[in-house]
A = this chain, B = another copy of it.
Amino acid sequence: MKKSLFALAVLGAFSGVAAAQSSVTLFGIVDAAVRYTDNNGTKLTELTNSGLASSRLGFRGVEDLGGGLKAGFWLESAIGNDDGSTNAQRFWHRRTTISLMGDFGEVRLGRDLVPTFTGYADFDVFGTNGVGDVSKLHTGVVTAAAAQRPALDTLVRADNMVSYFLPSNLGGFYGQVSVAAGEGTVGKKYMGGRLGYAAGPLNVGGFYGQTESTGDDDFKTGGIAAMYDFGAFKLNGIVSENKFRSAKERHFTFGGSVPVGAGLIRASYTKVQGKGSIDGNDADQFALGYVHNLSKRTALYTSYALIKNDGNAYYTVGGKGSALGDDSSGFEVGVRHSF
Contacts and interface: CB of A to CB of B under 8 A. Distances in A.
Interface string A63-78: 1011001011101000
Interface in A58-98: 59, 61, 63, 65-66, 69, 71-73, 75, 79-87, 89-98
Given A71-B294, A111-B84, A6 B15 contact: no
B92 A79 contact: yes
Contact of A63 (B32, B44, B180, B337): B337
Contacts of A93: 84
A26 interface: yes
A33 to B, nearest CB: 8
A339 B82 contact: no
A245 interface: no
Given A9-B9, A65-B298, A298-B63, A159 B84 contact: yes
Q: Say what secondary structure dominates the interface of chain A.
A: strand
Contacts of A84: 87, 90-96, 110-111, 159
Given A8-B10, A24-B26, A59-B28, A92 B82 contact: no
A111 B96 contact: no
A86 B82 contact: no
A19 B65 CA distance: 28
A149 to B, nearest CB: 22
Contacts of A14: 3-4, 296
Nearest to A336: B98
A111 to B, nearest CB: 4
Contact-residue bracket for chain A: 35 or more
Contacts of A17: 296
A181 B71 CA distance: 43
Contact of A32 (B7, B9, B110, B294): B110
Contact of A4 (B15, B87, B298): B15
Nearest to A188: B83
Contacts of A26: 8, 10, 24, 59
Given A19-B296, A65-B294, A83-B90, 8 more contacts: A8-B26, A10-B26, A44-B184, A46-B160, A47-B161, A71-B295, A79-B92, A80-B90
Q: Which 4 A-B pairs have the closest CB atoms?
A: A83-B159, A84-B90, A47-B160, A84-B92
